Amino acid sequence: MLHHTLCIAPMLNLTDRHCRYFHRLLTHHALLYTEMVTTGALIHGDVARYLRHHVQEHPVALQLGGNDCAELAQCARLAEQWAYVEVNLNCGCPSEKVQRGAFGACLMEYPHQVADCVKAMRDAVAIDVTVKHRIGIDRIESYDFVRDFVGTISLAGCNTFIVHARNAWLQGLSPKENREVPPLRYEQVYRLKKDFPHLQIVINGGVHTTDQIQSHLQQVDGVMVGREAYDNPWWLSDWDATFLGSQEQRSNPMTREFVEQQMVAYMLDESAHRGTAWPFIARHMLGLRHKLPGARRWRQVWSDHTLKNMSPELVMQMAKKWPHGHVDTGSVEWDFVMLS
């Protein structure tokens, strides 16, 4: 099994390949996940669009959404061919769109079907097959429900369960509200680890601090972090040494400026080889100076749509001036005071 001590959650419209490249600059060893990709998108769409990734993202796992054994097996084979280290089945997303496809959190009502899907994928590939799920759905709050779900699927050969410690409300709450409104019940996830000591149990939901991670790791095998990792990415720069036992000596000091320079180099490479406009990449690093003085102005430079036709190198130089006043770019005269 892969180690899942620290993972960054699959987040729709956020953890694309550019985001993962950025996160990998900050942590070399945390396990990264793609956005959820549906089986239909892979089977009927542009496989490269969904599965292309940079070698430096590794280790990286693919999260799949689906409920058909044959289709999931086919997509797992694609994941293995594209060098992903794990396939994760989404049994936790509560969105109406996902429910219409009869997968995501609603699959928790059908553990035997999930078990069949897991077995089909395990039979198809040599890489890990894992499941991400909730502790319950709607008003089902009995521990027995999630215990039986995990027990049934483990018999199909799944050894790693990533557990969002909230119920999923299938009606009445938006996906955002489903991440915030149902109460966190960490004790149920801890109990799963006690009842299934041979399984790898990873906890997810409401993790914002180093102290929380340390506390959870006393009870379970791993912690998955979502929005806080995205909004406050510099936090990731402490993870390798603090949690993942890494004492590696970097050839360059880990500074925000160094990370920004590396991202600009990546933007230039993506533009030259794939025609990717730099704003699609820069949006993922807007939290790099989270809570630092002048962070708001720095973000405004990188997110200013009027600069989109400039070189990212020039934008970076302009962003370096964020505590000061006026920058003359030659073709454009740009005043930071306008951003106040």
Tokens of 120: 């089909």
- 94 vs 101: CA distance, rounded Å: 11
Nearest-10 crossing angle of helices 17-26, 256-274: 150
DSSP for 155-209, please give it.
TTT--EEEEEEEEE-SSS--HHHHTTSSPP-HHHHHHHHHH-TTSEEEEESS--S
Tokens of 67: 């409920």
| Contact present, 18 and 284 (Cβ < 8 Å) | yes
132: nearest Cα among 61, 43, 196, 195: 61
Place of tokens 């956005």: 35
Bridge partner residues of 6 (DSSP): 223
138: left (phi over 0), alpha (psi -120 to 50) or beta: left
Interior angle at CA 307, CA 306 and CA 313, nearest 5 = 175
Identified catalytic residue from 91, 93, 106, 117: 93
Q: What are the helix (H) ranges across the chain?
A: 17-26, 39-44, 47-51, 69-81, 96-100, 111-124, 143-154, 175-178, 186-195, 210-216, 227-231, 239-243, 256-274, 278-282, 295-302, 312-320
- 42 vs 50: CA distance, rounded Å: 7
Annotation marks residue 93 as catalytic: yes
- H/E segment holding residue 335: strand 333-335
- 67 vs 295: CA distance, rounded Å: 43
Catalytic residue numbers? 93
